[in-house]
């Protein structure tokens, strides 16, 4: 992250004295006789990332269920349909393109569950 001793313009950090106020007993493990102070540079949004990672660790069962339910359609679209990125630009156009891909996925699911004859029979009702 640091190039030539300078942080990029879009990377802001917070400078804090390490452990001095939080846990003075741990200072001996981090500081030496010569270095009475150690400055820690930390990304200003690092706490948000840590909270997110903690939530993901605590919600392991929910994340496994979500990945089992949600990831399969997207993987199928990417693999079978070759749908790796949107071809159009703009929110409305991308929403339409995504809707068509989801419709085609749902249609293939209907055909695989009912079969072609079952689908035609359900349309005839």
Bridge partners for 13 per DSSP: 43
pLDDT grade for 92, boundaries at 50, 70 and 90? very high
Dihedral in degrees, nearest 10, Cα atoms 53, 58, 61, 64:
0
- Rounded CA-CA distance 105/80 in Å is 10
Average pLDDT over residues 7-34: 59
Cα separation of 12 and 111, whole Å? 53
- Indicate yes or no: pTM above 0.95: no
Which two structure tokens, joined as six digits, stand for 82? Answer: 């070759």
Span 23-33, average pLDDT: 67
Q: Kindly calculate the radius of gyration of the chain based on its CA atoms and give it in whole angstroms.
A: 27
Query: Can you give the pLDDT at residue 9?
Result: 47
């Amino acid at each position: 992250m640091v190039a030539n001793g300078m942080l990029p313009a879009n990377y802001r950090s917070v400078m804090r004295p390490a452990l001095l106020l939080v846990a003075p007993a741990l200072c001996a493990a981090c500081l030496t006789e010569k270095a009475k102070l150690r400055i820690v540079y930390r990304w200003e949004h690092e706490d948000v990332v840590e909270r997110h990672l903690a939530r993901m660790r605590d919600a392991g069962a929910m994340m496994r269920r979500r990945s089992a339910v949600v990831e399969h359609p997207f993987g199928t679209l990417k693999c079978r349909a070759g749908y790796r990125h949107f071809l159009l630009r703009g929110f409305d156009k991308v929403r339409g393109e995504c809707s068509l891909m989801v419709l085609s996925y749902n249609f293939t699911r209907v055909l695989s569950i009912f079969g072609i004859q079952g689908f035609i029979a359900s349309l005839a009702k």
